[in-house]
């Protein structure tokens, strides 16, 4: 198995479940024996908050990687999360202030090598680390940090809310960004699948959404496993936990375990071989 498959969770729409999916998928992959690194590129820092004990004082973060690249190594920034076998490269709100200077310095580079700073730091590091997966949580826009993340990744998972999965054009625009970057700066980038989230079993909307999305994007482009809507997600979040740490047997947890199994299968072949 090739080490360090990088998966970016991205949708420019807010609140669809990117951070929840990133951290729960990481936890579910770890429970299946994988070593996972989460990279939080969102200055809202939700993935960081869900991963680190409230008492943790973040000494160094993605901010330092971008602000002081010569003096900061990934080894000193990455820390263990609350979940066994899940590490995190944390973020801090201050990173937002770096956006203008990153934009200016990238604008002076040739088109084909723009916005590769995260890739050029992370990919060489992964070659000499033991992570099986790197999951990147992104902010709800198509700005600087999202482009940096997409230029680093092998795959993108797009979480979609079941009842807004009908705004196909919005999703197509998001997916066009993938095609655009693939041609320009990251030929490795692929859409892994759309992930239909917040499905209410009492309505048929989840299944209808999956059918519509498959018609628009292809059968292979949508996870058949949907994530149920459940107040347990908010309850877990209010305790700064993954749903898997909160209640491993609930429907939401089982759904993420199944998603992790499918990711392992798709990215690494038969899980029993790994
Ligand atoms: N399946 C679910 N059922 C119920 N609530 C959920 C579910 N998934 C996520 N949530 C809740 O929805 C809210 C938004 O989720 P989350 O923060 O993961 O979205 P996001 O896409 O990362 O948001 P942003 O765009 O602001 O980064 C959170 O309160 C989260 O607990
Ligand atoms: Mg988020």
Nearest to 141 by CA among 55, 20, 12: 12
Residue 261 in domain: yes
Position 162 scores a pLDDT of 87
Which CATH number fits the domain that encloses residue 19? 3.40.50.300
Tally of structural domains, the chain: 1
For 57, 67, 102, 143, 177, the CA distances from 110, given in Å and listed in that order, are: 38, 21, 14, 19, 19
Position 167 scores a pLDDT of 76
Band the pLDDT of 171: cuts 50, 70, 90. confident
Residue 174 in domain: no
> Residue range 235-257: average pLDDT?
97
> Residue range 37-63: average pLDDT?
95
Is 70 exceeded by the pLDDT of residue 184? yes
Express each pLDDT in 131-150 by its tens digit. Answer: 999 999 999 999 999 999 99
Position 81 scores a pLDDT of 97
Is 70 exceeded by the pLDDT of residue 270? no
* Residue located via tokens 């990133």: 22
Expressed as residue numbers, the domain containing 88 is 5-158+224-273
Is 90 exceeded by the pLDDT of residue 50? yes
> Residue range 153-162: average pLDDT?
95
Residue 40 in domain: yes
Query: How many whole angstroms from 157 Cα to the centroid of ligand 1?
Result: 15
Is 70 exceeded by the pLDDT of residue 271? no
Nearest to 175 by CA among 157, 195, 151, 198: 157
Residue 97 in domain: yes
Position 70 scores a pLDDT of 92
Is 50 exceeded by the pLDDT of residue 62? yes
Band the pLDDT of 2: cuts 50, 70, 90. low
User: In this predicted structure, which of 19-33, 53-67, 257-271 has the lowest mean pLDDT?
Assistant: 257-271
Position 274 scores a pLDDT of 38
Residue 216 in domain: no
Query: How many whole angstroms from 161 Cα to the centroid of ligand 1?
Result: 9
Residue 109 CB coordination number (10 Å): 12
> Residue range 53-76: average pLDDT?
94
Residue owning the nearest CA to atom 15 of ligand 1? 17
Mutate to test the pocket of ligand 1, among 137, 139, 226, 233 (most ligand atoms within 8 A of CB): 233
Position 163 scores a pLDDT of 80
Torsion-angle region of 187 (φ positive above 0: left; ψ -120 to 50: alpha; else: beta): alpha
The pLDDT > 90 percentage for the chain reads: 81
Residue 175 in domain: no
Q: Which residues line ligand 1 (CB under 6 A)?
A: 14-20, 42, 44, 46, 139-140, 197-198, 227, 229-230, 233-234, 237, 252
Residue 122 in domain: yes
> Residue range 181-208: average pLDDT?
91
Residue 197 in domain: no
Residue 207 in contact with residue 178, Cβ under 8 Å?
A: no
Is 80 exceeded by the pLDDT of residue 166? no
Q: Return the half-sphere exposure (C-beta side, CA atoms, 13 A cut-off) of residue 65.
A: 24
């Amino acid at each position: 198995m090739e080490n360090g498959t990088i998966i970016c969770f991205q949708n420019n729409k807010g609140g669809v479940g990117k951070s929840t999916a990133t951290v729960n998928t990481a936890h579910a992959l770890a429970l299946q024996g994988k070593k996972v690194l989460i990279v939080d590129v969102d200055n809202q820092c939700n993935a960081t908050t869900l991963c680190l004990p409230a008492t943790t004082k973040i000494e160094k973060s993605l901010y330092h990687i971008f602000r002081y690249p010569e003096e900061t190594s990934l080894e000193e920034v990455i820390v263990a999360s609350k979940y066994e076998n899940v590490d995190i490269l944390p973020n801090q709100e201050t990173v937002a202030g770096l956006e203008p200077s990153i934009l200016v310095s990238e604008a002076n580079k040739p088109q084909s090598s723009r916005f590769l700073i995260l890739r050029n730091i992370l990919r060489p590091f992964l070659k000499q680390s033991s992570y099986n997966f790197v999951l990147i949580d992104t902010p709800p826009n198509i700005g600087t940090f999202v482009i940096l993340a997409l230029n680093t990744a092998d795959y993108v998972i797009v979480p979609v809310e079941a009842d807004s999965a009908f705004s196909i054009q919005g999703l197509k625009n998001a997916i066009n960004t993938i095609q655009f970057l693939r041609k320009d700066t990251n030929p490795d980038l692929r859409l892994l699948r759309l992930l239909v989230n917040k499905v209410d079993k009492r309505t048929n909307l989840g299944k209808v959404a999956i059918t519509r999305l498959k018609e628009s994007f292809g059968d292979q482009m949508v996870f058949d496993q949907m994530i149920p809507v459940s107040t347990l997600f908010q309850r877990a979040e209010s305790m700064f936990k993954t749903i898997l740490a909160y209640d491993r047997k609930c429907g939401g947890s089982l759904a993420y375990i199944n998603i992790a199994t499918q990711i392992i299968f798709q990215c690494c072949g038969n899980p029993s071989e790994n």
